[in-house]
Each structure stands twice: as structure tokens, then as C-alpha cells.
Amino acid sequence: MEASLGLLIGEQNAAVEKEYIGDELELGLGLSLGNGGGEKGAYARILTAKDFPNGFACGTKRERAAAHQISAASSSPSHSAAVRQVVGWPPVRSYRMTSLLNQAKASNAVGEDESSKKKMNHGGHLGFVKVNMDGLPIGRKLDLNAHKTYQTLAKALEEMFFNPTRAGKEPSAKLLDGSSDFVLTYEDKEGDWMLVGDVPWGMFLNTVKRLRIMRTSEANGLAPKSHERNEKQKSKLI
């Protein structure tokens, strides 16, 4: 289908530009042939309308110009340190993302907040688990989906249970490094109690049923149980 303006396709931008401007005077203002020959289409975080709640006239062009300055100054894309998070990129469907979130082998769970907030229907982990601490009759509930690493989980628990303003309580200590009077343990799908922190985060998410902040003195039997079990499994192989 040839162009409705009977356009001759010239090699240069300039030739095409002349034709365009000749017939589309009413739209001449504000139009350009994109960013001109040299630019490679600048990329930075793509701002969306939500970034401009009061509206932003001609936002896109200005953003792009600004972004070009930034990306020109920074290192080339192939050496960038992180994948900048953009809506819908990389193009992986959300049900796949949530499935990966629950099964991730890597120690850091991945996935945008959006995908975990979306209602998960792929056998997704519900997120809330009960947490009990030795010596406290009443437990709390914690949303595991709000965390991506053991560190943030431990911090949240420390804040929940070891509030330094409470009288009579020892001031915190890190629950994960063995320096506290308490250790963090969890009950897994098989009903065994394990030390938190042994397995990759994703695997942990997949198998944890509830948490218990146990006194260190009682937790002695727990140590490298995950290794023991792997050994047992290997010996049962057909």
C-alpha cells in the first residue's frame, strides 16, 4: 500500500521531511523526525503518567532529551550494573513471574512488586505465616511475600519481637548470625524444624509453613539438618 500522499521514498531523512512538511502544514508545529540522525533513541527509566500526577505537557519528548543526557554520560548499556525496571519489560507474563518467585533457586528472589501483589493463582504461596517466639504466648503473623532476602525477614522479626522499648527484654541481636539468645527456625512442608538461612530464599519460600523464634539452648539439634537429609535422600535413590 503506498502512502496516501504519493510519497517518494528517498534515502535521506531530509527528502522525506520536505514531503511531509509540504502536505501536513497543520501539524507542522511540534513535529520533528524524531531525535534526528545521530541519536540512538535514548533510554533510561521510562517514566509513566503516575510520575506526574499534576499532568505534564509534552512530557515524553522532554523526558527523552533529558534521558539522553544521562545515558550519554553513563557507561554503555552492555556493561550496566542492573536491569532498569520498566513496566512490562522484559516481556514475561505475570503468571510465569509468580511461579519463578516461588521456585527461585537463586538466593535472591526476583520479581517485580506488581507480580506479587497481583492475585496469584498458580499454586502461589499465600504469604502470611505464623510466627511464635519461645516465652511469648501470643504469636504474630508475617507476610513473607513482602521480603526478598533473609536479611529483611530477620530485621522485620527483630523489630516485631525485640522492640527495645519493651521493659525486661534483651535488646535485639541478629537472629541469623548466632550471636543472640534466640535463633530463627521454621517448620517445613514435611513437618521438620530447620534453621532459617540454609537454603536459597526461593526454596525456603516454597517450603516454609511457619516460623519459630527458638531459644538457642533448645536449638542445638538443628544445625546442618538440610545436609543430612540430602545425604539420606541420595542413599535412597533407585
Partner 1 sequence: MAYSFPEEVLEHVFSFLSSPRDRNAVSLVCKSWYEIERWCRHRIFVGNCYAVSPEIVIRRFPELRAVEMKGKPHFADFNLVPEGWGAYAYPWIAAMAEAYPFLEEIKLKRMVVTDESLELISKSYKNFKSLVLTSCEGFTTDGLASIAANCRHLKELDLRESEVEDLSGHWLSHFPDSCTSLVSLNMSCLGSEVSFSALERLVARSPNLRTLRLNRAVPLEKLANLVRHAPQLVELGTGAYSAEIRSDTFSSLADAFSACKQLKALSGFWDVVPSYLPAVYSACSGITSLNLSYAAIPSSDLVKLISQCQNLQRLWVLDYIEDSGLEALAASCKDLQELRVFPSDPFGAEPNVSLTEQGLVSVSEGCPKLESVLYFCRQMSNAALIAIARSRPNFIRFRLCIIEPQAADYLTLEPLDAGFGAIVENCKELRRLSMSGLLTDRVFKYIGTHAKKLEMLSIAFAGDSDLGLHHVLSGCDSLRKLEIRDCPFGDKALLANAAKLETMRSLWMSSCSVSFGACKLLAQKMPRLNVEVIDERGPPDSRLESCSVERVYVYRTVASRQRLDIPDFVWTLDEDSSMRYS
Total number of residues binding partner 1 (CB under 8 A)? 85
Site for partner 1, residues 6 to 25, rule: CB under 8 A? 7, 9, 13, 16, 20, 24
Note whether 146 binds partner 1 by CB under 8 A.
no
Q: Which stretch binds partner 1 (CB under 8 A): 91-99, 129-137, 174-182, 215-223?
A: 91-99
**Cα 146 to Cα 217: distance, rounded to the nearest angstrom:** 30
Amino acid at 179: S
Judged by beta carbon, residue 34 or residue 171, the one nearer partner 1 is 34
Q: Which stretch binds partner 1 (CB under 8 A): 44-52, 130-138, 162-170, 172-180?
A: 44-52
Q: Are 149 and 201 in contact (CB under 8 A)?
A: yes
Judged by beta carbon, residue 125 or residue 140, the one nearer partner 1 is 125
What does the DSSP 8-state code read for residue 49? G
Q: Which stretch binds partner 1 (CB under 8 A): 54-62, 137-145, 160-168, 175-183?
A: 54-62
How are beta strands 140-143 and 182-188 bridged, if at all? Answer: unpaired
Site for partner 1, residues 199 to 228, rule: CB under 8 A? 202, 206
**Cα 55 to Cα 71: distance, rounded to the nearest angstrom:** 25
Note whether 128 binds partner 1 by CB under 8 A.
no
* Of 195, 199, 237, residue with least CA distance to 218: 195
- What does the block give as the cell for 32? 520533528
Note whether 77 binds partner 1 by CB under 8 A.
yes
**Cα 201 to Cα 206: distance, rounded to the nearest angstrom:** 9
Site for partner 1, residues 95 to 114, rule: CB under 8 A? 95-97, 99-100, 103-106, 108, 110-112, 114
Judged by beta carbon, residue 64 or residue 140, the one nearer partner 1 is 64
Map residues 24-43 to x or -, x wherever contact with partner 1 holds by CB under 8 A: x-xx-xxxxxxxxx-xxx-x
Q: How many CB atoms lie within 10 A of CB 102?
A: 20
Judged by beta carbon, residue 30 or residue 135, the one nearer partner 1 is 30
Judged by beta carbon, residue 147 or residue 219, the one nearer partner 1 is 147
Element (H, E) at 211: strand 208-215
Q: Is the peptide bond before 90 cis (omega within 30 degrees of 0)?
A: yes
